[in-house]
Structures are given as structure tokens and as C-alpha cells.
Amino acid sequence: MLFPRLPRAFTRKFHKIENKRERTIQGNFLIPVPPGSEIPNVFPKRVELGEVLVETGSLRILAPVNGVASLTESRSHFQIKQDGGWRTQSPYSSKSYTYEELLNTFQKGALASLDFPSVSLQTYFSYFSSQKEFNIILSPYSRYNHLDFKEMIESEMADAFSQFGALLQSVFPKAVLQNYFLAEKLEYKHPDGIPEYLIHTKMGLGIEEANHSLRHCELLYLGAETIFHILRMLYYGEPFTRRHLSVCLVDKKGRLDTEPRQFLLTNGQALDFIPQNIDQRYKVASFQGMFEPIQSVEIHSLGNFNIYEHYNLTLYERLPVIRNEFACIDCYECNTYCPTKANPLALVKTREDEFLKSSCIECGICTLYCPSGIDIRARILEAKES
């Protein structure tokens, strides 16, 4: 559903501010320190773009700009005062890699899987040996497919993408590469971007089997956004310090403007340029998409961009109504729309044993469609934990 487009000046202004920010020497970046990290006693110190600030068991946090990095008083955040320009775009350069070089480059670029939270790509790839037979899935979608990364890759990075396909075949000679970018008649609909669901629909495996293959590393899965950042690092020398934020708007009647708006933002940058440049009628925001549990934020308190958590920003004209749950009206919408036929209605009817836990991919569709506003998602999580 679309509602009338905002004046063009709105989007132009957004971009103008972004570009200006990139060109000039200014800016204060705030990056959360991952819980449990051991921070070396070297701060404050001068850092350069791509330098490691801290390393946890699974992820690395890199300096997103050149500047002076210090810790906030509570030691909960790195604060970087930018003191010099930094390159915003490197040229494409054709390169070949051995398996070890590939892993080292993933580590250097702090690449993470954006399909499975908190997994570094270096760790993920190290589970797959070059001597093993397995499938490699290249998916044209990301988890919530907030932006069309397939289109971005094909239009801006076609050479790099074909080189990456050849690279995967050379480092994993026994693996079967299944490139679903090449599939005809691609038409995304949620939950096609959820890895186990894509494997289920494309390879004909049951959801449980697909999950098992992913958990036991019998399948190497790369979604389009993850591939986008791999290509940036391998062939453009760009570490994972920037990520797209997709912005969508919801009017006061609850209608969603699906026209894509996207900004390639730098980790830690302040998001206050958004309320400053947006129509005042947008009052609240949420970093979640419509299939996720929404936590609303006042629009003037968006804070700073967090590369691991923020990929979507929905702006509302008014706070989504948090209404009480009504009684189930037996409309069967939840079961009808459930893509895996997991029988979510059983949870509402307190017949938990009839809910097919292992078939549920937590896509959020049943909760979104329930006309009685029943939080089926919460019941699913409870059932899965018990």
C-alpha cells in the first residue's frame, strides 16, 4: 500500500546532509562496547579507519573513521572524534584468494554473517573444509529483505560477484554451488529471506531437515546482504564499517509507504539528522520491521547507528496502538497464513502439544495477521523455551 509520495525535497535533503557529512572534517561517533569485552588500556588514542578497537570471541569492532578514540566515562561506548577525511569509495580490483587468505581477509574486514546473528564469517567459513562435499547456497534475499541487495549487486558489482562464485568453487572444489540469483521469476515475499525457509522451498527439504543442515554445517548459506559486504571487502577493500539503513514511513491511518529509501551509514554516526530533516508529523520510530516485535523510540532519541543491530527504521505519524488482546474469534487467519503449517492456533487454544515447534521459523506472520491482536509470537517463544 502506498500513500502519496513526500515532496522530493525531503529525500534530496537527506542525501545532501549525508554527503556533506562524509566530505567534511566533523563528527562524533559512538559505538557500544560489546558486553564482556576486555578493553586494552590504550585509550584515548588516535585510530585509523579499519583499525581494531576491540575484539570479542566472535566479532571485531573496527574504527569507522580516522580520529581520536576514547571510552565514555561508563566505559560502555567508544567515542571517536573524527579528525580527518576518510575515503568513501574504493575502486574495484580483481583479486584471487586462497582459503587461508580468504579467512584472513574476512577477519581483517570484521565481516559478519548478516543471516545468523553474531557469527563472524571467518568462524563460519572455518567450519567448511575444502575437502568436504556440501552445498553452498547464494540467496538473492536478506532475512527481512529490507532492501534489494540482489539488484545492487547485479547493477554495481557484477564482475565482483562472478569472481566470488569462481572463488568459492576454487576454495571448495567438492562443494555444489547453488546460485539462486540466477533463478527465473524471482518475486520476493516474506519469509523467503529466512535461511531455513529458502532452503525448504528451493531444495525441497523439510524445515527441520533444513535447520539440521544449517546447524551441522552441511550447507553454507550466504544471503544477499552478507554477499554484498563480502564483495565490498574482497574486491573493493572496504571493511564492515558501513551498512544500509532502510527507512519506511507509516501514516496515521497505519498505511505503509513502501517506496525504498536507503542510506549507507557509518557505524556509530548520530542519527539526529533524521528528525532534523523530516516532516514534523512523524513522531515515533522503531528499528524493527513489521514482522518483528516493535519497540518504539521517540523520534528525537534515535541515538547512534549500530551496524550490527540497525538495518531498518520505520517512522510513524503516531505511535502504533498497543491494544489489549481480544478473544480469539476462530477466523483461522493465523493457520491459513502460516507458511510452514505449524498450527499456531493450537497455542491460543492451549493445546500446545499440537503446535509443530520444529516447523516454526518465527517469521511473525501469524501475529501480524491476527485480527484479535493476540501476541502469538510471545506464545511461540514460550513454547519453544519450555
Task: Kindly state the cell numbers that stand for 335.
Answer: 493457520
For residue 336, the minimal CB distance to ligand SF4 (Å) is 8
Nearer to ligand SF4 by C-beta: 65 or 363?
363
Nearer to ligand SF4 by C-beta: 103 or 366?
366
Nearer to ligand SF4 by C-beta: 265 or 365?
365
For residue 343, the minimal CB distance to ligand SF4 (Å) is 7
Nearer to ligand SF4 by C-beta: 188 or 332?
332
- Kindly give the pairing relationship between strand 67-71 and strand 60-62: unpaired
Q: Which residues of 190-229 are buried (b: 16+ CB within 10 A; e: fewer)?
A: bbbbbbbbbbbeeeebebebbbebbeebebbbbbbbbbbb
For residue 320, the minimal CB distance to ligand SF4 (Å) is 18
Asked if 250 and 299 touch (Cβ cutoff 8 Å), the reply is no
For residue 348, the minimal CB distance to ligand SF4 (Å) is 4
Which residues in this chain contact ligand SF4 in the complex, by CB under 6 A? 328-334, 338, 340, 342, 344-345, 348, 360-366, 369-372, 374, 380
Asked if 306 and 267 touch (Cβ cutoff 8 Å), the reply is yes
Nearer to ligand SF4 by C-beta: 211 or 241?
211
For residue 382, the minimal CB distance to ligand SF4 (Å) is 13
Nearer to ligand SF4 by C-beta: 106 or 291?
291
DSSP 122-187: HHHHHTS-TTS--EEEE-S--TT--S-HHHHHHHH-HHHHHHHHHHHHHHSTTSEEEEGGG-SS--
Q: What are phi and psi for residue 114, nearest 5 degrees?
A: -95, 10
For residue 221, the minimal CB distance to ligand SF4 (Å) is 18
Asked if 96 and 167 touch (Cβ cutoff 8 Å), the reply is yes
Nearer to ligand SF4 by C-beta: 241 or 359?
359
For residue 254, the minimal CB distance to ligand SF4 (Å) is 18
Q: Is 181 exposed, middle or buried (0-12, 13-18, 19+ CB in 10 A)?
A: middle
For residue 357, the minimal CB distance to ligand SF4 (Å) is 9
Nearer to ligand SF4 by C-beta: 97 or 369?
369
Asked if 125 and 109 touch (Cβ cutoff 8 Å), the reply is no
Q: Report the distance separating Cα 8 and Cα 270, nearest Å.
A: 24
Asked if 200 and 206 touch (Cβ cutoff 8 Å), the reply is yes
Strands (E), 40-131: 45-47, 52-55, 60-62, 67-71, 77-82
**3-class state of residue 372 by DSSP:** coil
